[in-house]
């Protein structure tokens, strides 16, 4: 049986990709996991291998009743929740104009609102414990926009904004928030998990169309190792002062640093226009 000092994790989207790699690594370490998936039978092997420390349950993060049920199951099974990992999500490939209303809304329902409902459901537990850590799995695409991923970028930018505010709100309760920003990793994200907009507008061939072509070649060739990403996430959870952002992958680091340089240069170039927008101090009364 697990000792009292092990952590209890609740991981969404545990059946594949980062969720699967992290679930396996956490269980191997000896921590306890509520592993969730829309098809929990995909987790049967882990539940059988770790009968005392793993519990697999069905969870569609867009269903608030299932979200609340998952929290109750975690508490009833292991008595607490130390780490919530909001991993469930997927990519939508297509230009802004190409995305249908249904495609855009479904993307936001899963990637943004699913994470929000999980956060709102777990916070009363963590506040009562006066401890907890929430890992929100964003993306390099939550910090930098990319042609062909605008709707996806929107969900992750929004998740990062929520995460930054949340970190300030829950700091008095000893609850930590870390935004995880992976680059390209060898998961199903670019493969069978990817949704492509049904509408294709030929005029975008040189922008989002090029991204479509690139994604066709990307699957299975990514440099990032999901097992090493899982180890990095576990490291963050076990340090005294975890970072607010954990960037994963040299490609992600390069793109984020590039954006920061670009923003700084633009701020400098337009500084006079920026600051010359105040009322004149010579105003007469």
In angstroms, the CA 277 to CA 271 distance is 11
**Any idea what the Cα angle at residue 162 is, between residues 92 and 264, rounded to 5°?**
85
Catalytic residue among 15, 138, 163, 184: 138
Catalytic residue among 55, 156, 163, 197: 156
In angstroms, the CA 11 to CA 237 distance is 13
Catalytic residue among 7, 95, 139, 152: 152
Nearest to 61 by CA among 9, 8, 111: 111
Active site residue 208: no
Nearest to 85 by CA among 143, 18, 27, 28: 18
Task: Output the six-digit token pair for 244.
Answer: 């607010």
- Phi first, then psi: give them for residue 8, nearest 5 degrees: -110, 120
In angstroms, the CA 9 to CA 223 distance is 27
Active site residue 204: no
Active site residue 39: no
Task: Output the six-digit token pair for 40.
Answer: 């929990």
Contact 42, 112 (CB under 8 A): no
Q: Which residues are catalytic?
A: 138, 152, 156
């Amino acid at each position: 049986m697990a000792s009292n000092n092990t952590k209890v994790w609740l991981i969404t989207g545990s059946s594949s990709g980062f969720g699967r790699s992290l679930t396996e690594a956490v269980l191997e370490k000896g921590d306890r996991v509520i592993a969730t998936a829309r098809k929990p039978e995909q987790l049967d092997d882990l539940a059988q291998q770790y009968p005392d420390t793993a519990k697999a349950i069905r969870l569609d993060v867009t269903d608030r009743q299932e979200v609340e049920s998952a929290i109750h199951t975690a508490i009833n099974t292991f008595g607490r929740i130390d780490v919530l990992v909001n991993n469930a999500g997927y990519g939508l490939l297509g230009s802004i104009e190409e995305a249908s209303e249904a495609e855009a809304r479904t993307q936001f329902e899963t990637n943004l609102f699913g994470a929000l409902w999980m956060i709102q459901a777990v916070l009363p537990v963590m506040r009562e414990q006066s401890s907890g850590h929430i890992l929100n799995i964003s993306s390099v695409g939550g910090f930098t926009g990319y042609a062909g991923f605008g709707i996806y970028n929107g969900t992750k930018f929004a998740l990062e904004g929520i995460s930054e505010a949340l970190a300030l709100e829950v700091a008095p309760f000893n609850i930590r928030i870390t935004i995880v920003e992976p680059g390209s990793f060898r998961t199903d994200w670019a493969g069978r998990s990817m949704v492509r907009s049904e509408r294709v507008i030929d005029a975008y061939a040189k922008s989002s169309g090029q991204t479509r072509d690139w994604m066709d070649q990307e699957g299975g060739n990514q440099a990032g190792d999901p097992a090493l990403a899982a180890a990095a996430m576990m490291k963050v959870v076990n340090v005294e002062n975890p970072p607010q952002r954990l960037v994963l992958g040299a490609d992600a680091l390069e793109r984020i640093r590039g954006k920061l340089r670009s923003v700084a240069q633009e701020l400098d170039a337009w500084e006079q226009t920026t600051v010359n927008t105040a009322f004149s101090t010579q105003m007469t009364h």
